Structure formats: C-alpha cells, structure tokens
Amino acid sequence: MASSALICETDAWKDLRAHVDDIKKTHLRELMSDAKRCQSMMIEFDGLLLDYSRQCATVDTFNKLNKLAEEAHLKEKINLMFNGERINSTENRSVLHVALRAPRGSVINSDGKNVVPDVWQVLDKIKEFSERVRSGAWVGATGKALTNVIAIGIGGSFLGPLFVHTALQTDPEAAQLASGRKLHFLANVDPIDVARNLTGLNPETTLVVVVSKTFTTAETMLNARTIREWISAALGPQAVAKHMVAVSTNLTLVEKFGIDPNNAFAFWDWVGGRYSVCSAVGVLPLSLQYGFAVVEKFLKGASSIDQHFHSVPFEKNLPVLLGLLSVWNVSFLGYPARAILPYSQALEKLAPHIQQVSMESNGKGVSIDGVPLPYETGEIDFGEPGTNGQHSFYQLIHQGRVIPCDFIGVVRSQQPVYLKGELVSNHDELMSNFFAQPDALAYGKTPEQLLKENVPSNLITHKTFSGNRPSLSLLLPSLNAYNIGQLLAIYEHRVAVEGFVWGINSFDQWGVELGKSLATQVRKQLHASRKKGERIEGFNFSTAALLTRYLEASKD
C-alpha cells in the first residue's frame, strides 16, 4: 500500500469485509467447541495470560488481520515510533513515552540524541526530592513535615496518575510505605473540587504539585492560582517556594508563575499528555506518596511490555493482537463501543484513564495525510469494576447492544479475606463472576434450554440470551506496581496499533481546541457583562438566551 492510500482500499481490507458474512454465520458456541482453536487463542507473557477465544474470529480471521497489518505497514510504524521518528506529523513531534521507562543505560534516540540519560536525570532528581519530603528533610514554611500532597492537573496530567494511585492504594507493600501520607488530585475547575480537596487540609503540612505539560491549561492554572492564594493567605507569599513545585515541559512559564525552577521537574514534547504517566507527571506525585522504589517497579512493568511489543512476532504479541481485534470489532463487525471490566476495585480508575488514552488518540475523522476517512475510527470506551457493573449496565450488554468486553481478573487479591463458614473466599466469589460472565455472553441461553427448565411460554423471549457476544479475558498474577505498569503499557500500545492500522495520527488532539476557544469568547463576555454591564453580543440566539438567563439569575 502506498503511504498516502487509505487502508480501506487494500485487498486485505476488502478480504476482511467479505469474511464478515462467514463469521456472522458462525455462533461463538460453535467456535468455542473447537478446543484446538481455543488453545491457539491463549497466550502468556511475563505472568500474564490473555484468552481471546471468545472473539468472533477464527484462525483464518487472524491470518487476514495479519495481512491487513502488513498492508498498513504496522511493523514499520512501530519501529518508527521506537526509533524516535516524528510520527506525530501534525505537531512535528516524535512519540517516545517508551523512553520514559527504558532501563538506565539503554539508548533511544530523538533527533540523533539519546534521551534516556535525560529521563534518568529527572528520575534521580525525583527520587532525591521525594526522599527528602518523605523523610522530613524538606519541610514546610513553619517547619512541619509535608504529609499531604495535592497534584493539580487535568486530562493526561491527572487521569494516569489517579489510575495508578488508586490501584496501588491497597497493595500491602505500597500501602505500608504510604502510611501517614495522603495524595489528593485537583482536576476540575469547578470550585467544588477545590473545596472538597481543601476540606481538612492544613497548608502548613501540604505540598502542591502543579502538573501541566504546557503550563497554559486554563483549568489547571486557575486552580494553581487559587491554591497559591490559599497558601499565601495562611503562611505568607514566601511560603510558596516551600509548598509548591511543578511538573512541565514549559519551565519558563513555571518560573513566571513563581515556582523556583530548581523545584520544577521537566519532561519533553515527545511525551503526549495522555501518555505521560511514566514521566514526572506520574512519577513525582506517586513517589511522594509511595516512595521511588515502588514507582520504579511500575516503570519496569511497563518497560517489559514495551520490549515485548517491539520484538515479539505479531501472533504472540499482546498489544498487537488486542489492537487488531479492536479494528476487527469496530471496522468490520460494526461494534462501536468497548467495555473495560476489571474484576478488581483497585482498578476502578482504569476505564476513565483508558477512555482518554483511546478516545483522544483514535477519535479522528481524517487520515494522517488529512484525507477524510470513509470509515469510523476509535471506539467508545467505558467501564466499571465487576461486580458493580453487573448490577448496572450488564443488562444491555447481555440482551441489548453487542459491546465487546475486556474482562480483567487478578489471581492473588491485594486484600484476601476468607470468612469462616463461607463456601469460598471473598476473592473467589468475585472471580466466580469474572469466569462466568464471558461464557454467559458467548453462549447465551436458547429457548430450547428455557423450555426444558419449564419457563412459562410468555417469558421465553424475555429470558432468551442470544449469546455470540465477544469478549476477551486477561488474567494478571497479582496487582502490584509491576503488574499495573504492564497493564498500562498494554492498553497504550493497543491504541497505537489501532491508529497505525486505521492510518490516522493517534498522537495529536485537535478536536479539543474548538471548545476551548469558544470558552475564551464566553469568558470575555461574562467579564464584560458583569463588570461593565456590556450587552451580550456575537452569539447565536440560543447561547445568548442561556447566557442572559445565567447572568440575570446569578446576580447577587
């Protein structure tokens, strides 16, 4: 395929289109009866087990998807990413989040320069700083230890760190290291988020980390100014130097804000916001909370998947298989959504994080060359931990829309409980559901089965489950920092694979700009109307009417 041609014009794409009819004729019940097929669809790597036998796909489907990958130059694109080429062409940037977790001493070049030493210089600085704060060597303006940390940031400067923090919170090793400390996240510009964060906090014992790649994001900067005021009002303006540090690529703006550049932790334009949790964006707040050693394990887990993704043949490559399956489900079977269903409460923030990684990356309407696409890209990601989701939206995924599901289970619980007299441990109870749900979706329940159970005839259709609903199961050995890193990298690379095959730029996000600039116009109008009584001008009828109501009804 020529680099500017669309993937849908290739023979491999057309072949897959034709293949859909064969697959639609075959029920998962039938596919699941072939043990050889099922065995070939289970792969293991570094303690992880992926079972994708409940996908509506045959071995032939995978051969065809491999052809598609070839036509899309998937291998070459992966290599370009790892080689630091500027594959984010609309922003003229390379995409090197893999360098953030590369082992010390390895070589990853961007523009002919090895970036790994720079990465480790910042990691060493974080280690030293976080140890000083945690040990009480770095104290606040009144000499008290800083035991609370507020990380201010939004989007990629928030969701990844929140996901990892939530996952580590109940890991016994991490929890012990975090004893006596609290990490808070302030993301929303809604003053309610500020109020909730500050409830019970004492500025004397609080350290603030302002996290923003650009250091221009309106919400983050307003929240940072609000918290700076909170510190200054309580402890005096000179206290800011002891109580506020920053993470950014824009160190000039950090200094302008009033944060000592010595207390700024850098990262680089080759780290996309939603791929930045392994940079100082995540590493600093998480090291302050858990200590650097725990975070280093997380980086190692991610790095293990990076090496696997870069080197293992596609038929055994976890992110590649997952990415190709997503393309199959979205572009060929026509399923636009994906449910992320971890059977672990500790992973409750996985879906919100992956929502940004996936939807901001792959929700695009044009190819990387700017050609409008005649096919949809991206999927609608959502999810909740099991079993909570079962009592919420599972009805729809069992009997309503077909939504491919990712079931994620953990072998050893972070917090095992075995109550006397109970049939199974609490974790076994949870996992019973993890094992049952994929089969319920795949096999369903037929009217014949219901008749045999003497179900009244008026309820037969209501109680029938069509089945044939695809899912995959990923089993993790445990949920510690290392496994969390693995999980993160699997999803990051899966999203990249999808984007590479669809032929889009997964690393820009122009779609967030229009709303931001319209908000600027509204902000100016609100200011002009409130302060100078200026009339509302330049808006359509509807927006003008809403603004008028808002201004009038909110007058003191």
Residues marked active site are found at: 360, 391, 516
Nearest-angstrom CA–CA distance, 248 and 264: 7
Tell me whether residue 326 or residue 361 sits nearer to ligand F6P (CB atom). 361
C-alpha 370: how far from its chain's center? Answer: 26
Q: Which residues contact 114 (CB under 8 A, 6 or more apart)?
A: 107, 108
| Residue 89 or 464 having the CB closest to ligand F6P | 89
Using the structure block, give the residue that is written with the tokens 């996901």: 163
CB of 250 to ligand F6P, least distance (A): 8
Give me the sign of the Cα torsion angle 325, 327, 331, 336: positive
Least distance between ligand F6P and beta carbon 516 (Å): 8
* Interface positions with ligand F6P (CB under 6 A): 154-157, 212-214, 217, 220, 273-274, 360, 509, 512
Per DSSP, 371 falls in state P
Residue 552: C-alpha distances to residues 404, 518, 527, 530 (Å): 47, 21, 14, 10
Minimum gap (Å) between residue 485 Cβ and ligand F6P: 20
Q: Which is nearer to ligand F6P, 68 or 152 (CB)?
A: 152
What's the number of CA atoms in the CB half-sphere (13 Å) around residue 452? 5
Angle at 392 between CA 332 and CA 351, to 5 degrees: 60
Cα 92 from chain centre: 23
- Of the pair 82, 267, the CB lying nearest ligand F6P is at 267
- Of 236 and 365, CB closest to ligand F6P: 365
Q: How many helices (H) and strands (E) does the chain have?
A: 23, 13
Q: At 35, phi and psi to the nearest 5?
A: -60, -35
| Residue (of 189, 249, 193) closest to 220 by Cα position | 189
Closest CA to 365 of 505, 535, 514: 505
Nearer to ligand F6P, 515 or 533 (CB): 515
* 188/446 with CB nearer ligand F6P: 188
| Nearest Cα to Cα of residue 66 among 8, 1, 16 | 16
Q: What angle do CA 77, 82, 85 make, to 5 degrees?
A: 70
DSSP E strands: which ranges in 187-258? 206-211, 244-248
Q: What span, in angstroms and rounded, lies between the C-alpha atoms of 243 and 235? A: 10
Nearest-approach distance from CB 155 to ligand F6P, in angstroms = 3
Residue 348 CA to residue 346 CA, distance in Å, equals: 6
Are 163 and 151 in contact by the 8 Å Cβ rule? The answer is no
